[in-house]
Structure formats: C-alpha cells, structure tokens
C-alpha cells in the first residue's frame, strides 16, 4: 500500500452466504491467501494502550497502524498505515518516549525499545473487490476481506483507502451502503482477530486493554478499535 494512505474500515461477522452475495453485487474474487501475522508490544502494552498496532506479516514486512482523526463514531475505524521502516521506527520512539536507538530497521530496535511478541496466528483470507453500482469510474474500489484465523474465529472487513481526511465521510458512506447490502445490521460490531486472540489466550492483557480504553471506547476492532486490525 502506498505510504500515507488512510484506511477506513468496518468489521462484521460474515455468514455462509456472504461470498455468494458479493458475487451477486458484482464483486470479483482477487485471491485466496494464507499468511501469519505477529504482533509486538511492550510488557505493559504501551503501544496498544496508545492505539498503535505493530505487526509483521509473513513475506510482507512491517506495518504500524496509527489512530486517524479523533471523534470517529460508529461501527468503523480509521487508521493511518505506516509501512516504511524508518517512519515506523520514528513513530515507535515517539510513542514510547525513546530517543536514540541507533540505526537499523524495525527488527533491530525491538530489543532496545522493549518490544516482544504478544500474538501470532495464521489467517486464511479470501480478498474481494467491487465498485458500488452508480459509482463513477474514478471512484476507488471497495475491498472486502473474509478471514478465518487458525484459532477458529471468522471476521469480515469492508475497507476503503483514501488520501485525505476530507475524503473519509464519502468513504464511510460507501462502506455503510455495502455493509447494508451484505445484510450487516447497522450497529453490528465485530472484534478484530487480534482482540479475540488476546481475549482467549492472554485474558489479563485483554482486560488491561478493556480498562485503559473504557474512558474512550472498547479495544481495537470492537467497534472503534485489527487494530488491525486485519
């Protein structure tokens, strides 16, 4: 993904007829793929508690999701995705209050920044693209990812990528329209794979995120944050 794009997404719980409905709406299956995601944080979850999500995807490199505009309401999330390693390192240092960690990529600063693996799982994904009827040819396609994690959790995501904050409202309108066409209840929220992983396998960490996010909302991917996260 091009550096600096804003990801606007909404997660939902797919049903047995979701893929068939996507076909009926003119969706195109781009590919089916399997990959492993590994997430890193400090022992105190300093990144996640600041709504930053550091991930290494197998064969795809590093990504840091940073919060988008404040005041985003409803069953969707907005994140800026940083994929250039120097920019990731700079943002990590900023969030963690670190200064000079030396030269090198993300892997080289994990130790100095006290970052460790907190979750790792495999996802089977079917990736779809489609343009809503009536949208102009210049309109970017919407993306729908249908994921099943190796610990048995399935979640879908409708996503749009935009360049400027001013484009977010129109992207949200398209996302909600497609979600409605897929039969997703208007206020349905679905947790990200990472949040469900923590809830099942690291309940103390999950509870810590619940507590720190209670003042603003629930953890990433549960309405306002896969986090994430994907």
Does 193 count as an annotated binding residue? Answer: yes
Does 157 count as an annotated binding residue? Answer: yes
Does 65 count as an annotated binding residue? Answer: yes
Does 125 count as an annotated binding residue? Answer: yes
Does 145 count as an annotated binding residue? Answer: yes
Torsion of CA 11, 207, 204, 148, to 10 degrees: -10
Q: Residue positions in the annotated binding site for substrate?
A: 11, 55, 57, 65, 125, 157, 193
Q: Residue positions in the annotated binding site for Mg(2+)?
A: 7, 9, 145, 157, 159
Q: Residue positions in the annotated binding site?
A: 7, 9, 11, 55, 57, 65, 125, 145, 157, 159, 193
């Amino acid at each position: 993904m091009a550096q600096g794009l804003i990801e606007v997404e909404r997660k939902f719980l797919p049903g047995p007829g979701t893929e068939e409905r996507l076909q009926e709406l003119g969706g195109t299956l781009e590919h089916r793929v399997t990959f492993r995601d590994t997430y890193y944080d400090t022992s105190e979850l300093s990144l996640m508690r600041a709504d930053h999500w550091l991930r290494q995807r197998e064969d795809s490199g590093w990504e840091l999701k940073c919060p988008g505009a404040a005041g985003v309401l409803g069953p969707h999330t907005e994140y800026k995705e940083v994929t250039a390693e120097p920019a990731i390192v700079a943002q990590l240092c900023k969030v963690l209050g670190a200064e000079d960690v030396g030269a090198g990529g993300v892997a080289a600063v994990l130790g100095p920044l006290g970052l460790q693996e907190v979750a790792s799982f495999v996802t089977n994904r079917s990736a779809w693209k489609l343009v809503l009827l009536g949208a102009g040819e210049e309109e970017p396609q919407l993306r729908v990812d249908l994921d099943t994690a190796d610990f048995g959790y399935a979640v879908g995501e409708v996503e749009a990528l935009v360049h400027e904050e001013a484009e977010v409202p129109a992207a949200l309108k398209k996302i909600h329209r497609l979600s409605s066409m897929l039969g997703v209840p208007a206020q349905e929220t679905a947790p990200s794979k990472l949040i469900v992983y923590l809830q099942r396998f690291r309940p103390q960490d999950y509870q810590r995120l619940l507590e720190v996010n209670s003042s603003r909302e629930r953890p990433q991917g549960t309405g306002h944050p896969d986090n994430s996260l994907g």
